[in-house]
Amino acid sequence: MHIISTTRSHTCQAIFWLNRSKRMVYRGLRSDRAITQAEGTVAKQVYDFATIERRWQKYWEDIRLCYAQDDSDKPDFYILTMYPYPSGVLHIGHVFVLTIADALARYRIIRGDNLLNPMGWDSFGLPAENAAIRDGLHPADSIRINVDRMREQMRRAGFVYDWTREIATSHPGYYKWTQWLFLQFYKAGQAVRKKAAVNWCPSCSTVLANEQVVGGQCERCDSEVEQRDLVQWFFTMSKDAQRLLDNHRKLTGWPEKIIKMQENWIGRSEGARIDFTIAETGETLSVFTTRPDTVYGVTFMSLAPEHPLIQKLVAGTPQEEQVMTAVRRMRRQGTAERERVDLEKVGVDTGFHVINPVNDERVPLWVTNFALMTYGTGAVMAVPAHDQRDFEFARTYGLPVRVVIQPDGEKLEADTMTQAYEGSGVQVNSGPFDGLPNTEGMTKITDHLASEGKGDRTVNYRLRDWLISRQRYWGAPIPIVHCEKCGEVPVPEDDLPVELPRDVDFRPTGDSPLAACREFVETTCPACGGPARRETDTMDTFVDSSWYFLRYLSPRDDERFVDPEAARRWMPVHQYVGGKEHATMHLIYARYFFHVMHDLGLIGVDEPTHDLFCQGIVCKEAHYCPTDKWLADDQVEDGRCRLCGGPALTEMAKVSKTKQNIVNPDEFMAKFGADTVRFYLLSDAPADADQVWSDEAVPAANRFLNRLWQTIVDVARPGVKPFSGKPDELEGDDRELHRKVHQTLLRMTEAFEEDRRFNTGIAAVHDTVAFMRSGRKFSSAVLVEAAEVLVRILSPIIPHMAEELWTVLGHEPSIFHVPWPEGDTEAAAEEVVEIALQVNGKVRGRMNVAADADREFIEQQALADETVKGWIEGKTVRKVVVVPGRLVNIVAN
Ligand SMILES: [Zn+2]
Ligand SMILES: [Zn+2]
Ligand SMILES: [Zn+2]
């Protein structure tokens, strides 16, 4: 039976009319179905989600539920979810994060805020381009199709956005301003072109920023990344390292974990710069060290294989070929591998030497695979006695070891040491510094070097400049022209955007595809008017997403990148929502961008957001067969692989195509409705914890929603006002239901306001519904109160059903325009009773516990009581007698 015909008109008025007639249907239903109906027996035909969900989605669009006003006098609230790549399908991870954000957004609407909740597309960059290549389409076309599909999926899931503010970063109206911002950065010296050793992904055929290399592999395609020396465009982000750290104190609403990840990535360490001299050429070679106290123990110098000096030094020497061959071999090892403690340490002697500034000693200059260009200067003073990596290397290659720090009560001998001593002690073999504690040695030696002009106290950061040029087609062209006479010339702002031409062979070859497009490349120099060539690299897509927060505020503004008035009104974002995998990529880039934009006077805030919520990862069982690799669900039967008959291993893993444990949200929404999927996703764990998806558990969530539906329908008594009196006016089961309702309400309120543990609120809902259906007698007013509160507090999570039930309860839509109910802490308080605490039969104290506390809980509380502890100290508890509601007697001797 369908309660609502699908042929009804969709205007608001029709809905009101519909609801009036529908209530009569419900009354009919109620007469033959008591509230005492047993758990689990739900009339299947009652809740017709397919019709109901579609109808309310249309209704929310019609009433513009989620459209922000720039001139509202309500409090402003800007909630933003990290926008997706238009890959063509909204996967379950998207649905999870968007559900959290949608619930938070709807909660803010209920709270009466002027809510800004926009959506857009990260449509430039590799993911979009690769999807287009996969589908044999031009990226511009593939994006249009994919965006339409994903927008429809979002609507189907009940997510409400202000679609008038939709943006796509590959639209010229957007990237014009990405280019404009590049020019502002360029003029401020924040964008520079320079030669450097950079990460190259052979599979993506482009360079990558350090942040986009994860464990030595490309963040996109997992290929092993190589090092190449190339001239590239960088943002000078390393200069911002200290600011990125200092400003963490403003990010009071960020997860501690994300702050820690950023701190590690930025990698601040205090130490000294020490200037060595290359003996053969007289050039200065500076090192950074956190252990200047060990400088007298230097027995060789390590250069990273990427160090630009190597080629220069050995060019034309007899050892050139041998050195460069070894260097190439070392560079082929991934950076991540080279950072491993158990790395096999190898190196090559350059034949050159350096002079130690403290004692004028001449020591050999080596290239080693454990020296990294990303640490310090890429040159490392090697002290085998006091650094384990140097020690292992020295023993392998027969280099000397010299002890310069002696620990307390022990005598280290260079010849017999089996490992480096990295602790503290007293300076020895250290000239005038002998006998000093090494902590003092650090300061004194650094001061000495500084006074001689051979070093200084300094701070080192691991953070490097942000490499932003890409040798791929689908990105914003870098607005620079190269002229033989004038060099680099920025494109005049009036000529923006530099449009990306459509007809380009964009298959990745390793060279920028734009270089082959003559109409694009050939231009005239804006400075001298002579012939010139356009820059053919495009920008990293993370540049687009570093400022997109602002474009939503005035998305169609042709004159400015953002309307300053709107920026003042809405920034910083009140609640940003997205994955923790962005901790050291997008979330660092965007913060750097805001620092620069702020300092250039372009905006008034210097951080995009002070409040960040990071959702957990959706995981599901994945099956693996040693022969057939990852298996789909239907390729496994009774723990065995159906392909080869061998045993299949099962593990819990993040959903992914590779592991064949993908969840298709569309399938579940079609079968059980969007509300069921949303409800299920928030039911099991706190929203910031990883979620375990189980196909089998979804129907159970759906059954519960049907039970909830039936319960509310049964309770609905038009004309009966919900109970609104004092808790002491109630007694017995009424009092208990009233208590449960307010406990649930307070828990859910806290989940929305504070901890995002919607699962605990949902558990309380389960409990309350079970109590309502337990066969007890309740007064109508208390039942109606319970029904109304449940529907209202669930409305952000199951918006369609809640909106529908709100009308069933005799109200007019929209439920999102009804203020959030106030929880009553007095009503929620557990009834307490006083219990006597006896030790060996004598009353020694009293305590208060909830009237319904069980024996086990009472026993625990009694044994934890301070007075009781005093009486049983030193004795053994033999027996505990609990008489609930009266006393506890502890027998101890
Ligand atoms: Zn790659
Ligand atoms: Zn020129
Ligand atoms: Zn198999």
pLDDT for res 44: 40
Ligand 2 centroid–CA 481 distance in Å is 9
**Can you read off the two tokens belonging to residue 94?**
């998207």
Ligand 3 centroid–CA 628 distance in Å is 4
Ligand 3 centroid–CA 650 distance in Å is 13
Ligand 3 centroid–CA 640 distance in Å is 8
pLDDT for res 16: 30
Ligand 1 centroid–CA 470 distance in Å is 12
Ligand showing the shortest atom-to-Cα distance for residue 648: 3
Distance separating alpha carbons of residues 97 and 117, to the nearest angstrom: 14
Ligand 1 centroid–CA 760 distance in Å is 41
**Do residues 546 and 593 touch, judged by C-beta distance below 8 A?**
yes
Ligand 3 centroid–CA 691 distance in Å is 28
| Bond from prior residue into 305 cis (ω within 30 degrees of 0) | no
**Can you read off the two tokens belonging to residue 594?**
């805001």
Ligand showing the shortest atom-to-Cα distance for residue 490: 2
Ligand 3 centroid–CA 617 distance in Å is 28
Place of tokens 């402003």: 76
Give how far the C-alpha of residue 156 lies from the chain's centroid of Cα atoms, to the nearest Å.
25
Ligand 1 centroid–CA 131 distance in Å is 14
**Can you read off the two tokens belonging to residue 284?**
């200065």
**Do residues 640 and 623 touch, judged by C-beta distance below 8 A?**
no
Ligand 2 centroid–CA 523 distance in Å is 11
**Can you read off the two tokens belonging to residue 132?**
């287009």
In sequence order, what are the residues at sequence separation of 6 or more whose Cβ sits closer than 8 angstroms to the Cβ of residue 701?
672, 676, 679, 680, 683
Ligand 2 centroid–CA 185 distance in Å is 21
Torsion of CA 87, 93, 95, 96, to 10 degrees: -160
Ligand 2 centroid–CA 526 distance in Å is 7
Q: Which residues surround ligand 1, an ion (CB under 5 A)?
A: 201, 203-204, 218, 220-221, 223
Confidence (pTM): 0.85
Give how far the C-alpha of residue 340 lies from the chain's centroid of Cα atoms, to the nearest Å.
26
Ligand 3 centroid–CA 203 distance in Å is 29
Determine the 3-state secondary structure of 514 from DSSP. Answer: helix
Ligand 1 centroid–CA 304 distance in Å is 24
Ligand 2 centroid–CA 561 distance in Å is 28
Distance separating alpha carbons of residues 712 and 793, to the nearest angstrom: 14
Ligand 2 centroid–CA 536 distance in Å is 17
Ligand showing the shortest atom-to-Cα distance for residue 130: 1
pLDDT for res 373: 85
Q: Which residues surround ligand 3, an ion (CB under 5 A)?
A: 625, 627-628, 641, 643-644, 646
Ligand 3 centroid–CA 696 distance in Å is 24
Distance separating alpha carbons of residues 263 and 257, to the nearest angstrom: 10
Ligand showing the shortest atom-to-Cα distance for residue 201: 1
Ligand 2 centroid–CA 530 distance in Å is 6
Ligand 1 centroid–CA 126 distance in Å is 9
Beta strands in 4-132 (DSSP E): 76-81, 114-116, 120-121
Q: How many CA atoms lie within 13 A of 861 on its CB side?
A: 20
Ligand 1 centroid–CA 149 distance in Å is 26
Ligand showing the shortest atom-to-Cα distance for residue 488: 2
Environment class of residue 456 by beta-carbon count within 10 Å: exposed (0-12), middle (13-18) or buried (19+)? middle
Place of tokens 């109901």: 52
Ligand 3 centroid–CA 13 distance in Å is 60
Ligand 1 centroid–CA 206 distance in Å is 8
Ligand 3 centroid–CA 649 distance in Å is 10
pLDDT for res 24: 32
Ligand 2 centroid–CA 540 distance in Å is 27
Ligand showing the shortest atom-to-Cα distance for residue 628: 3
Ligand 3 centroid–CA 631 distance in Å is 8
Longest alpha-carbon distance in the chain = 105
Ligand 3 centroid–CA 149 distance in Å is 36
Ligand showing the shortest atom-to-Cα distance for residue 631: 3
Angle between helices 799-808 and 49-62 (to 10 degrees): 90
Determine the 3-state secondary structure of 246 from DSSP. Answer: helix
Ligand 1 centroid–CA 543 distance in Å is 18
pLDDT for res 757: 96
pLDDT for res 12: 27
Distance separating alpha carbons of residues 162 and 823, to the nearest angstrom: 31
Ligand 1 centroid–CA 212 distance in Å is 9
Ligand 2 centroid–CA 543 distance in Å is 28
Ligand showing the shortest atom-to-Cα distance for residue 632: 3
Task: Provide the β-strand partners of residue 224.
Answer: 217
**Can you read off the two tokens belonging to residue 114?**
């002027």
pLDDT for res 837: 93
Ligand showing the shortest atom-to-Cα distance for residue 532: 2
Ligand 2 centroid–CA 696 distance in Å is 68
With CA atoms as reference, report the closest residue to 182 among 517, 510, 593, 465: 593
Give how far the C-alpha of residue 588 lies from the chain's centroid of Cα atoms, to the nearest Å.
11
Per run of 10 residues, the mean pLDDT along the chain (length 893 residues) is 29 30 32 35 62 96 92 94 92 96 98 97 90 88 94 97 96 98 98 91 88 83 85 96 98 97 95 96 96 97 94 95 94 76 91 97 96 88 96 96 93 93 96 96 96 95 94 96 97 97 87 93 96 96 98 97 96 97 96 98 97 96 92 91 93 90 94 97 94 94 96 89 93 95 97 96 97 95 97 98 96 96 92 88 89 86 90 91 89 90
Ligand 3 centroid–CA 761 distance in Å is 43
